[in-house]
Amino acid sequence: MTATPLSAATLAEFTEIIRTHVGMPTLDRVAAYRGHRDVAWKLVPTIAREPFRSPDAFCQDHKDQSAERIILLFFNSFSASLMPSWVTAESDKQGSWLRLIVAQHHGLPTRLMDWTTNPLVGLFFALEGNAEKCTVGPTCSSCSGSGTHDSAVYVLTGRRGFTVSSLVSQKENGHAPLYGYNEEVGLLLPPHVDGRVAAQSSIFTIRKAPGTVVDPDLRILIPHAARDGMLRDLEHLGITRKTLFLDLDGIAAYLRWSCTNWEHITGVGHGRPRTP
């Protein structure tokens, strides 16, 4: 059943929705969040998006020529000397799933989809980046008539998460990427590939049919006009690219965004002229 969307135009409204409708998660009842800066985007993993075609792109067995299987084979081959030792030290089946997680972490299209257990991190990814301009017109349901699409945070509540060890112990699941436990959305708790996984409180969804759109338990719409203010509020709470992406790219991206609001420098964005 599709959840009725709620709306939050301030950080206080957003946190109140989380407090009221999600409550306090536990290790065995996980809440997961995913932010989309365009509410029109579908909740499907990268292997189910363009240029891949559903369901032809999905791996069905370990001999097919699906895009999902072939690009993973190439990734495993090309990355052999770069793969962490804690991956190669595991059994063949468990190692295959760890390789899939590493591949997803570095941007390979897979059937895994990135979520977070931190609602503020989910909100950050809904707010950052350039908003999507509307091409539909006044009848568009994604922009409330503003001409720019609204954002959204999607929530899965009260789900039981599992580790890679638990995943491979189920006989229904083969070597990666063959997940066949049931038709439901699974929540996979990843190992800490690097500091970014911990900083973003990362968790993955996975399902037997990757092309089936995830139906969240809660949808929180963020009006386009509220995005900049809420993003600034998140900065005050330490939720920025500098803290979520623990590398040089994250630092540079944070400074590129932040400097447009500085008041003591000249020649950038909204900065005020500096007094001689």
pLDDT tens column, 91-114:
899 999 999 999 999 999 999 999
pLDDT score of 273: 42
Q: What percent of the chain has pLDDT over 90?
A: 71
Give the position of tokens 């001689």. Answer: 276
Query: Distance between CA 216 and CA 200 in Å, rounded?
Result: 20
Bridge partners, 116 (sequence order): 33, 202
Residue 134 has pLDDT above 90, yes or no: no
Residue 240 has pLDDT above 70, yes or no: yes
pLDDT score of 97: 96
Q: Check if the beta carbon of residue 109 is closer than 8 Å to that of residue 46.
A: yes
pLDDT score of 249: 83
Residue 57 has pLDDT above 80, yes or no: yes
Query: Distance between CA 106 and CA 68 in Å, rounded?
Result: 15
Q: How confident is the model over 149-162, as pLDDT tens digits?
A: 899 999 999 998 99
Residue 259 has pLDDT above 90, yes or no: no
Q: Check if the beta carbon of residue 108 is closer than 8 Å to that of residue 139.
A: no
Average pLDDT, the chain: 90
Q: Which residue has the higher pLDDT, 93 or 146?
A: 93
Q: How confident is the model over 189-239, as pLDDT tens digits?
A: 999 888 899 999 999 999 999 999 999 999 999 999 999 999 999 999 999
Least confident of 94-98, 169-173, 255-259: 255-259
User: What's the average model confidence in pLDDT over 138-143?
Assistant: 69
pLDDT score of 2: 63
pLDDT score of 271: 43
Instruction: From residue 185, give the alpha-carbon distance in Å to each of 29, 81, 238, 267.
Output: 14, 33, 31, 49
Q: Check if the beta carbon of residue 119 is closer than 8 Å to that of residue 200.
A: no
Length of the chain counted residue by residue: 276
